Structure 1
Amino acid sequence: MSVGTPRRSTPRTSPLRAGGSTDILVAACLWGTTGTVRTFVPSASSLSIAALRIVLGGLILLVLAACTARAAGLRELAARRSHWAPLAAGAIAIIIYQAAFFSAAARTGVAIGTVVTLGSAPAFTGLLGLVTRRSTLTGRWCLATAGAVTGCAALIGGGQDAGADPVGIGLALLSGLSYAVYTTIASSLITDGQEDRAVVGALFGLAALIMTPVLLWDSPGWMTSPSGALIALYLGAVTTGGGYLLFARGLRTTPATTATTLTLAEPAVAAVLGIIVLNEHLGPLALTGLGLLVASLLVLVAPTRR
């Protein structure tokens, strides 16, 4: 992973934008494996899984930021009071995103909760970008996002007769909004010249500090077995630590609006793994949605010229 000096995006079509999109797509693919891996520890509660990912991943990200050549970036973040409020807001957004998502899934089902959370995040990020005047919504982004959200809905909802709980829908929308807030804050700090590792380390480090009592309280005994320890290490170190490092690096050159749309690759990966590993079946509607989702993401990452 490159740890060079952060670079601002340029008006030309350059490998930087393509590289940033690739980093975010790889991160989304890692996140897409969590649902399948989660099935191997049925005794663990959703809250315990969420707390584990934040605490272990946050500690790893914080240690990487503090113990590498980029430690100066972490000190700079902490030294400037103007950064304290966005860092605190970003850490809280991480916690709300995780907690609200799992609560929504428990009330209205995983399918609907995932569709509403992941589908609303790009729209919320676009609105935040307009409000903060940090981005503009292009026709290409609107087309690709609409196609990706539609494909996501068809993929996850195809063939399922799940009911919608109003409170669960509200929690899923809160989760999507919180994820958009985190992405916007991280993107703002990174594109303003802060080290990407320092930013993600500080945000997740603060979130880990808050969530440690929750992890200890919510029966973490499932992590004491050899298989449980390996799964915990994968969920915390690989999908959270590695995934969010890639996501932060991608935010150097990829607008937050585009980044949240690219993360819709997560349910596509989850669906493919469900077929291969869990022997799940996708009907025609879900397969159509998968194709539409992939096509929309390809439209979004294809190089453009100005």
Structure 2
Amino acid sequence: MTVLPYIFVLFGAILWGTTGTAQTFLPDSAHPFIISAGRSASGGLFLLIILVLFKKIQFLSWPWKQTLYAAICISLFQLLFFSSVRLTGVAIASVVAIGSAPVFSGLIEWIFLKMRPTKIWGGSTALAIIGCLFLFVTKGEVNINPLGILYSLVAGLIFALYTMTSKSLLQKEDAISVVAMTFSLSALLLTPFYFIFDVSWLKDTGNVGIIFYLGIATTSIAYVLYGWGLRKIPASSALTLSLAEPTTAALLGVIVVGEILSATSWVGIGLLLGSIAILTFGSKFSNLQNEKEGKCPI
């Protein structure tokens, strides 16, 4: 196994990390649910149209049941996550949702799939979670809402389930087709929100351009990269690498938005980067050792 699948997942997570900064350029009237619906539609349908034009997808033989599960998961994840953001803020919602996902995935793999997590996964995940806590705990200015925390925890569990469902789909279909079908179905599921919340801000071409960026860059490209990597590595490892997302978001917040990070936040960034390095290169080293010893990697 090469290091390339880990790099694909890492770059996908980095693209996800640009989402928050891109959203800061949208007006206050842009409801998170509408942003989610637009993002899913532009990202999923963009890929689906290309696949249909080049006749690269077979609808009759498509695994619709698993795709529907994945679409429901990614739709619920977005709704729960953004609800948590409204209640407890971006920082805490991100820490709990993104930080809990790899833990839930590792536990699910262990309990239901009998795949015992590796020491490398355990160490890198623990370091990453500690890093997340350092990253966002600044001067005690933290708004903790119990219901918001619960929403984030459920969001983390659902994203772990989405990842595992997608991994199963990726054994049958290519990553581009899986992302196209999953997010097109997600867009369909989220369509009712267009009739509930204000959409007048979508008349501005600049706002539409940001939605297309969120759809194509942070959804189509990011999830395809994530899918390519996910085919070759454990779901728990992929979710731990996805913790590059809050690191990217924090750095862009400083460079682009002008936010000021405390010393503890910079420590958190260092711990997150360290956890990513351990998982990426530690897994590569472990596989090489197993090959030399004639063992099969877990």
Higher alpha-carbon deviation: 152-161 or 265-274:
152-161
Q: Secondary structure at the match of 1:254?
A: coil
Partner of 1:5: none
Q: Secondary structure at the match of 2:143?
A: coil
Work out whether 1:258 is the aligned partner of 2:237: yes
Give the length in aligned residue pairs. 284
Q: What is the identity, as a one-letter code, of the residue corresponding to 2:180? A: G
TM-score for the superposition, normalised by structure 1: 0.88
For residues 212 and 64 of structure 2, what CA distance do their matches in structure 1 show? 30
For residues 143 and 194 of structure 1, what CA distance do their matches in structure 2 show? 32
Work out whether 1:195 is the aligned partner of 2:195: no
For residues 251 and 68 of structure 1, what CA distance do their matches in structure 2 show? 25
Query: Do the aligned residues in 2 keep the contact of 1:122 with 1:260 (CA within 8 Å)?
Result: yes
Q: Which runs of 5+ in 1 are unaligned?
A: 1-13, 78-82
Shift of the 68–157 alpha-carbon distance from structure 1 to 2, 3 Å rule, reads farther
TM-score for the superposition, normalised by structure 2: 0.90
Shift of the 68–250 alpha-carbon distance from structure 1 to 2, 3 Å rule, reads farther
- C-alpha deviation, 1:160, in angstroms: 4.5
Higher alpha-carbon deviation: 124-133 or 99-108:
124-133
Of the candidates 209, 217, 226, which is equivalent to residue 238 of structure 1? 217
Partner of 2:189: 210
Q: What is the identity, as a one-letter code, of the residue corresponding to 1:28? A: A
Work out whether 1:277 is the aligned partner of 2:277: no
For residues 158 and 296 of structure 1, what CA distance do their matches in structure 2 show? 21
Percentage of identical aligned residues: 37
Partner of 2:293: none
Partner of 1:76: 61
Q: Secondary structure at the match of 2:257?
A: coil
1:121-145 residue CA offsets vs partner (Å, 9 max, x unmatched)? 0011112222341743000000001
Of the candidates 274, 277, 282, which is equivalent to residue 298 of structure 1? 277
Q: What is the identity, as a one-letter code, of the residue corresponding to 1:40? A: F
Of the candidates 123, 126, 129, which is equivalent to residue 103 of structure 2? 123
Q: Which runs of 5+ in 2 are unaligned?
A: 291-298
Partner of 2:296: none
RMSD, aligned α-carbons: 1.7
Query: Do the aligned residues in 2 keep the contact of 1:154 with 1:289 (CA within 8 Å)?
Result: yes
Partner of 2:295: none
Query: Do the aligned residues in 1 keep the contact of 2:179 with 2:220 (CA within 8 Å)?
Result: no
